[in-house]
């Protein structure tokens, strides 16, 4: 390695070590975020508060009300006044209100279908879906197994037997913790690096570098290498935390995991450095990094919303986001082990994207002040 490149890398490292904010962003923030993803976010089993008003006061319906009380997914409150219950929905105290109408047991004893009236708070759209599915699951369970009407029910002929491959416990943390690394890594990969070249131009230190014998390649590599190393350290730290502290099963190969993580990091760094090289201003660069980096990685990578359900033009945008390849790869590597096609396809895309961005950064790097 030539001495100028070595010196540039050394200089960059000193800047990284001297600024506590880099350490915070590389290690402390990822840890806090993992903690939140692990304990603060429940995507599959959400508890909801329901109000219940029983207009059909028979011993049988009382056991139904009790079934709601016993469910661990429901916080139930019994109301006598319908208006009071409905007002609590407006206030946001309840997510749903259940009314058992007065002809409920009469209809069931005749072998007919009885209604339960459910009002859900649609402003919490996702929770409203849970309200509906909990109400129907709990009442169906009661009818088929606990009520005296169970003999009036014709047993369904065809039923579904559902199996989950790769994640039998169907625990969303096994997906979201590894997947979230794609978003966390954009902080170093795109946001931090978006600042570093712009900083040199803003402070005028770029002039000092240009007066040395450093070649264009030295300057570009002098930025890529230190942040690549910082990013990989942060990545290893996060993976270590996920596997040991949070006990998420890892079924793949660490070698392949970090190889693809490296490719992902290179293409992210390319994005960040390209922004920085073109804009030469930290304020603009951070705004741009947010717009093409962090927010799309969160929303369009497939971590929160499935890409295949998005409109086609948005699916096309997601192909240009490195995080969408990485989410697809890392969740599969964690849960299913190494799957050759998933590994190769995603690495190929990431390498291609990384190479294009590298050449763009190289091409846009200016060796003169007046251009």
Partner 1 sequence: MRTRLFSLIFKEFLAIWKDPKSRTLILLPPILQLLIFVNAATMEVKNIKLGVIDRSNSIESRELISRFEASRWFKKVVYVKNEKNLRILMNNKLIMAGLLIDDDFNKRVNAKKPTKVQVVLDGRQTNSAGIISSYASQIVSSYDKTYIGQGGAGINIDIRNWFNPNLEFKWYTLVSMITLLSVVTTLLLTSLSIARERELGTFEQLTVSPLRPVEILIGKTVPPLCISVVVTLVMMTIAKLCFNLPFTGNIYLLIFATIVALLSIVGIGLFISSICKTQQQAILGAFTFQMPATLISGFVSPIEDMPQAFQVISAINPLRYHLVIGKGLFLKDMQAPDVIINLIPLMLIALLTLSVATYMFKAKLD
By CB atoms closer than 10 A (0-12, 13-18, 19+), residue 163 is exposed
Contact 324, 318 (CB under 8 A): yes
Cα–Cα distance measured from residue 115 to residue 224, given in angstroms and rounded to the nearest whole number: 64
Task: Count residues binding partner 1 (CB under 8 A).
Answer: 118
Closest CB to partner 1 among 337 and 355?
A: 337
Q: According to the binding rule CB under 8 A, does residue 197 interact with partner 1? A: no
Task: Dig out the tokens for 64 from the structure.
Answer: 């139904």
Q: Print the binding letters for residues 276-295 with partner 1: x by CB under 8 A, - otherwise.
A: ---x-xxxx-xxx-xx--xx
Integer Rg of the chain from CA: 28
Q: According to the binding rule CB under 8 A, does residue 126 interact with partner 1? A: yes
Given 50, 74, 85, 119, the residue binding partner 1 (CB under 8 A): 119
Contact range with partner 1 by CB under 8 A, out of 1-9, 232-240, 336-344, 356-364: 336-344
Q: Which of the residues 214 through 273 are near partner 1 (CB under 8 A)?
A: none
Cα–Cα distance measured from residue 284 to residue 272, given in angstroms and rounded to the nearest whole number: 12
Taking alpha carbons only, the member of 28, 25, 24, 45 closest to residue 36 is 28
Q: Which of the residues 77 through 96 are near partner 1 (CB under 8 A)?
A: 89-92
Closest CB to partner 1 among 135 and 219?
A: 135
Q: Which of the residues 297 through 316 are near partner 1 (CB under 8 A)?
A: 299-300, 304-306, 308-311, 314
Q: According to the binding rule CB under 8 A, does residue 321 interact with partner 1? A: no
Q: Which of the residues 13 through 72 are near partner 1 (CB under 8 A)?
A: 19-22, 24-25, 28-29, 32-33, 36-37, 39-44, 46-49
Sheet strands side by side (includes 74-78): 74-78, 48-54, 96-100
Contact 99, 120 (CB under 8 A): no
Contact range with partner 1 by CB under 8 A, out of 6-14, 185-193, 229-237, 357-365: 185-193
DSSP secondary structure letter of residue 151: G
Contacts 24+ apart (CB under 8 A), 305-310: none
């Amino acid at each position: 390695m030539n001495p100028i490149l070595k010196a540039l890398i050394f200089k960059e490292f000193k800047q990284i070590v001297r600024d506590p904010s880099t350490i915070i962003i590389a290690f402390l923030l990822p840890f806090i975020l993992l903690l939140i993803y692990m304990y603060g976010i429940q995507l599959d089993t959400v508890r909801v508060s329901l109000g219940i008003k029983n207009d059909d006061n028979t011993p049988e319906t009382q056991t139904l009300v009790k079934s709601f009380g016993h469910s661990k997914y429901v916080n139930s409150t019994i109301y006598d006044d319908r208006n009071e219950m409905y007002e609590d929905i407006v206030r946001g105290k309840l997510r749903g209100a259940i009314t058992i109408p007065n002809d409920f047991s009469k209809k069931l004893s005749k072998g007919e279908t009885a209604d339960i009236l459910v009002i859900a708070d649609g402003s919490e759209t996702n929770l409203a879906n849970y309200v509906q599915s909990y109400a129907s699951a709990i009442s169906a369970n009661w009818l088929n197994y606990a009520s005296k009407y169970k003999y009036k029910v014709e047993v369904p002929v065809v039923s579904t037997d559902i199996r989950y491959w790769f994640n039998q416990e169907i625990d969303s943390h096994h997906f979201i913790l590894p997947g979230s690394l794609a978003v966390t890594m954009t902080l170093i990969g795109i946001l931090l690096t978006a600042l570093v070249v712009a900083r040199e131009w803003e402070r005028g230190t770029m002039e000092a570098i240009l007066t040395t014998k450093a070649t264009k390649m030295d300057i570009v590599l002098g930025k890529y290498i230190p942040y690549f190393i910082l990013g990989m350290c942060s990545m290893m730290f996060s993976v270590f935390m996920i596997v040991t502290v949070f006990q998420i099963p890892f079924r793949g190969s660490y070698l392949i995991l970090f190889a693809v993580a490296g490719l992902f990091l290179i293409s992210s760094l390319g994005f960040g450095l390209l922004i920085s090289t073109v804009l030469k201003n930290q304020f603009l660069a951070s705004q741009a990094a947010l717009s093409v980096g962090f927010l799309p990685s969160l929303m369009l990578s497939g971590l929160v919303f499935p890409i295949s359900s998005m409109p086609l033009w948005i699916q096309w945008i997601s192909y240009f986001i490195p995080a969408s390849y990485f989410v697809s790869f890392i969740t599969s590597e964690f849960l299913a082990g190494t799957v050759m096609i998933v590994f190769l396809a995603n690495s190929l895309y990431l390498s291609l994207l990384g190479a294009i961005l590298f050449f763009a950064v190289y091409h846009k790097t200016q060796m003169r002040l007046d251009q």
